[in-house]
Amino acid sequence: MNRLKTGIAYFVRNRDHKRVEQDLLDIKNRGCTYVVHFMTEFDTVFFPESVKEICQVTRDLGLEVYLDPWGLGGFICSKYSLFPLDRPEECQVLSDGSPLMQACPNSEVFVEHTERWLDKAAEVKAQYIFWDEPHLFFDNNTKGATPRWACRCSRCQEQFAAMYGHTMPVEPTSDVYEFRQETLYRFFNRVTAMAHERGLKNSLCLLPLRSDEHGFSDWDRFCSLPHVDIFGTDPYWYFVDAEPKQYVTPYTKRVLDLCQKHGKEPHIWLQGFRVPKDQEHEIAIAGLTVYELGIRNIAVWVDKYGTGDNNASANPERVWTVTGDLYRFLHNLGE
């Protein structure tokens, strides 16, 4: 049986060495075996040594280090990025011709920017790169008009015409959807290879939306990427007011099936933020569910350490207690 791995995200904007060490000791004592740290583009400019020190403290405590390129280019999880400010000409263009301040994955300049970020990730001695919810822009809230989508910049139009033999349409056709997915596949095929060249492993976490709109309808293809080591998703049931076991089960089974097929490590994130009052126990229900289904890499995004004020739970300390109890219980099961 594979060793159980349990983790959380540490997104505290704190640079005090002693405070970080106290937090990480708490995290370890709650049963965590790894921590997802963040290195934004802002961090690479202003706080590279701080990130390196935080990663070192984490490793010294015996915890594995995952590094999240949060906001890189504006389409890795968050839209907040420095790259578009410096290189707006390398950014995406909406189908209606409006500029979108997010990097185009087909931009060679942005690929080189990502490679420089990976150089810094290697310098801080991260062990895994956590590619966090990448997605392309799609807006269907257009009141009956044609949905707006990206990217339709000159680069993408030229590549599309070469692939399909006709002009890239404004409407989101099947060819457009296929091209957008191919764009993301090529990008992640390249950057995950770059990570491996630097001795870094890759963990790819997709949104639990298997649709064409955001560019990841074919999970099988992305799980098969040769340099992806860990593949998973984050079925956050509180967002949709669902019953946790019923909601996480189909996503977990899909991840397990694909990872078995392609020889990858399966990974599931659970929701520990925006947790309503007196519903904290649902985290344990979801955790036990994915464990019983066969997942041995489980993470909870708890708001005590991993989110902003806009994502606070009713009782963050209770969320953290439930998460720690869950992790210790699961580790005891494996002994």
pLDDT tens string, the chain, 335 residues long: the values are: 589 999 999 987 667 778 899 999 999 999 999 999 999 999 999 999 999 999 999 999 999 999 999 999 999 999 999 999 999 999 999 999 999 999 999 999 999 999 999 999 999 999 999 999 999 999 877 666 789 999 999 999 999 999 999 999 999 999 999 999 999 999 999 999 999 999 999 999 999 987 788 778 899 999 999 999 999 999 999 999 999 999 999 999 999 999 999 999 999 999 999 999 999 999 999 999 999 999 999 999 999 997 778 899 999 999 999 999 999 999 999 76
- pLDDT for the residue 210: 72
The number of beta carbons lying within 10 Å of the beta carbon of residue 112 is 11
- pLDDT for the residue 145: 77
- pLDDT for the residue 16: 77
Q: Report the alpha-carbon distance of residue 233 to residue 225 in Å, rounded.
A: 16
Within 8 A by CB and 6+ apart from 183, the residues are: 105, 106, 136, 151, 156, 159, 215
Q: Which domains does the chain have, with CATH numbers?
A: 5-88+104-137+177-333 (3.20.20.80)
Give the largest CA-CA distance in the chain. Answer: 60
H-assigned helices in 87-236 = 108-123, 154-164, 174-197, 219-223
Q: Taking the alpha carbons of 178, 266, 281, 274 in that order, is the dihedral positive or negative?
A: negative
- pLDDT for the residue 209: 83
- pLDDT for the residue 259: 98
Q: Report the alpha-carbon distance of residue 46 to residue 63 in Å, rounded.
A: 25
User: Which H/E stretch holds residue 293?
Assistant: helix 281-293
- pLDDT for the residue 315: 96
